[in-house]
Structure 1
Amino acid sequence: MLLSLYLAVLDDQSNEEQFIAVYNTYKRLVYHTAYKIMGDSYLAEDVLQEVFLYVAKNFSKIHRENCHELAAYLVSCSRSRAYDMLRNQREELLEEVSDAPDGAPVPDDAAVSADNIEHLTELIGQMKPMYRDPLR
């Protein structure tokens, strides 16, 4: 079903067979790369869908001659989309916490107490960019 969606947005319909081959070859790699970052199968599936939707829209521009370069490119796309998704989730969580009235109860299943979120955000801001950026 999703494959038909990708084929519908393919930038050049003459590349359908090539796209199907790329999708079948690399879908597991993209999924597992995303899963390592997200830790959730549903979110990894979302990353997989976003990556291949992007690939379909730009398929004629993507160099496919070297399979190692293509695999590296797809891994890079997967990581980028996964970190973007985590960053968006973090921002939504911080908005929810900051929108909550002072003294509002923290959910029992919260991983970090509301008092520590500001402190953790400050500590993350002091880290080197290579460690800080994925956490943000």
Structure 2
Amino acid sequence: MFIFATIKNEKKRGKLEELYIAQASSMYKVAYRILDDEYLAQDAVHEAFINISNNFEKIMQTDCNKMGALLIIIVRNVSINMYNRRKKSGFSYEELGEEISDSGPGIEEILMNKEMFSIVVEKIKELHPSYADILSLKYFYHYEDSEVCRILSITPENFRTRLHRARHSLITLLSREQEGKNRE
């Protein structure tokens, strides 16, 4: 990566290269699941490593067991930001055409699903970070329960409790959103 060449401190460069070798593939998978484009996913990983490089001292203070989860969260946030920027530029007709098949859902259903997805993503961002992380890892990145436990360094019991509370909090936020729309 080009960013490594710009770092003069050999120790910092070596640590970043180690992180890249160890975590880049899992970070890419997370980015790809969000962006559904291999080039954008690669860009997200590179942008995440730029952020990591800029905040190197803070990140290296993180417990080594939590480093993988932190990097996943960083690339997730970068990917979501990229997705939102791309979405703000509007839907391309080519993108919609690829999603529509003769036997598949209609345009209205596709647009409603994308709108609902955006609403859910925005509400998840409003949740407590521990709830947002567990929901994201479980439902957006499709990690198995045991993998989520390992990434977040929590017990299976803690996972179930936190997941239940996160779902309940999300449902509460979505209900309030719906009530607000019904009043208008």
Deviations along 1:3-50, one digit per CA (max 9) or x if unpaired, are xx2223437443222221111111111111111111221111111110
Within the alignment, does 1:18 sit opposite 2:15 as a pair? yes
Map residues 1-136 of structure 1 onto 2, 5 A cutoff.
2=1, 5-10=2-7, 12-63=9-60, 66-93=63-90, 109=97, 129-130=123-124
For residues 65-91 of structure 1, give each alpha carbon's deviation from its aligned partner in whole angstroms, at most 9, with x where no partner exists.
633211111111111011111101110
The SS at the match of 2:90 is helix
Work out the number of aligned pairs and report it.
118
CA drift at 1:92? 0.2
Shifted more, 51-60 versus 78-87: the winner is 51-60
**Structure 2 SS opposite 1:93:** coil
User: Contact 1:11 / 1:58 at 8 angstroms: preserved in 2?
Assistant: no
Structure number with higher helix proportion: 2
Counterpart of 2:124, as a letter, is: M
TM-score by length of 1: 0.65
- Relative contact order, higher structure (CA 8 A, sep 6+): 1
Aligned-partner Cα distance in 2 for 1:19–1:53: 10
- Equivalent position SS for 2:22: helix
RMSD value, Cα: 3.6
- Check the 8 A contact 1:11/1:59 in 2, yes or no: no
The answer (yes or no) to whether the contact 1:30–1:75 under 8 Å persists in 2 is: yes
- Output the CA distance in 2 between the equivalents of 1:129 and 1:117: 18
Give the % identical residues.
19
CA gap 1:113/1:28 in 2 versus in 1, 3 angstroms:
same
Deviation, 1:59, is: 1.6
Please, what TM-score do these two structures have when normalized by structure 2?
0.50
Q: Name the CA distance, whole Å, in 1 between partners of 2:60 and 2:38.
A: 29
Q: Paired residue for 2:146?
A: none
Q: Gaps (5+ residues) in structure 2?
A: 100-105, 127-135, 137-184
